[in-house]
Amino acid sequence: MISNNHKNNKSQFIPDAARTLVQVKDLVHVYPTGTRALENINVSVGEHEKLAIIGQNGSGKTTLVKHFNGLLQPTEGTILVHGADTRKTRTAVLAKTVGYVFQNPNHQLFCVTVAEELRFGLRNLRLPPDEIEQKVKETIELFKLQPYLDVHPYSLSMGARKLVAIASIFAMGPQLMILDEPTTGQDYESKKILSQVIGMMYESGKSIVFVSHDMSFVAEHADRAIVMSRAHIVFDGSLPDLFIRQDVLNEADLRPPHITQLSQRLSDYGVSPRVLNVAEMVSEVRRCLA
Interface stretch with other proteins, choices 78-86, 102-110, 189-197, 268-276 (CB under 8 A): 102-110
Report the site for other proteins in 183-242 (rule: CB under 8 A). Answer: none
Residue of 11, 12, 57, 146 interacting with ligand ATP (CB under 6 A)? 57
- Which stretches of the chain are assigned E, i.e. beta strand? 20-30, 36-46, 50-55, 76-81, 84-85, 98-101, 176-180, 207-211, 224-229, 232-238
Residue in 29, 50, 55, 100 binding other proteins, rule: CB under 8 A: 100
* Least distance (Å) between residue 26 CB and ligand ATP: 18
Distances (CA, A) of 190 to 182, 185, 196: 10, 9, 10
CA angle 61, 102, 188 (to 5 degrees): 90
Using CB distances below 5 to 8 A depending on partner kind, what does residue 269 bind out of Mg ion, ligand ATP, other proteins, none? Answer: none
Nearest to 23 by CA among 83, 72, 73: 83
Confirm or reject binding of residue 183 to ligand ATP (CB under 6 A).
no
The arrangement of strands across the sheet holding 224-229 comes to 98-101, 176-180, 207-211, 50-55, 224-229, 232-238
- 60 belongs to the binding site for ligand ATP (CB under 6 A): yes
- Give yes or no for a contact between 265 and 244, defined as CB atoms under 8 angstroms apart: no
Say whether residue 185 binds ligand ATP (CB under 6 A): no
Question: Does the footprint of ligand ATP cover residue 59 (CB under 6 A)?
Answer: yes
CA distance 156 to 149: 11
- How many chain residues touch other proteins (CB under 8 A)? 27
Question: How far apart are CB 228 and ligand ATP at their closest, in Å?
Answer: 6
CA 207 to CA 203: how far, in whole Å?
A: 10
Q: CB of 62: closest distance to Mg ion in angstroms?
A: 3
Which parts of this chain interact with other proteins (CB under 8 A)? 33, 66, 69, 71, 90-93, 95-96, 99-100, 102, 104, 106-110, 120-121, 124-125, 154, 168-169, 172
Which parts of this chain interact with ligand ATP (CB under 6 A)? 31, 33, 35, 37, 55, 57-63
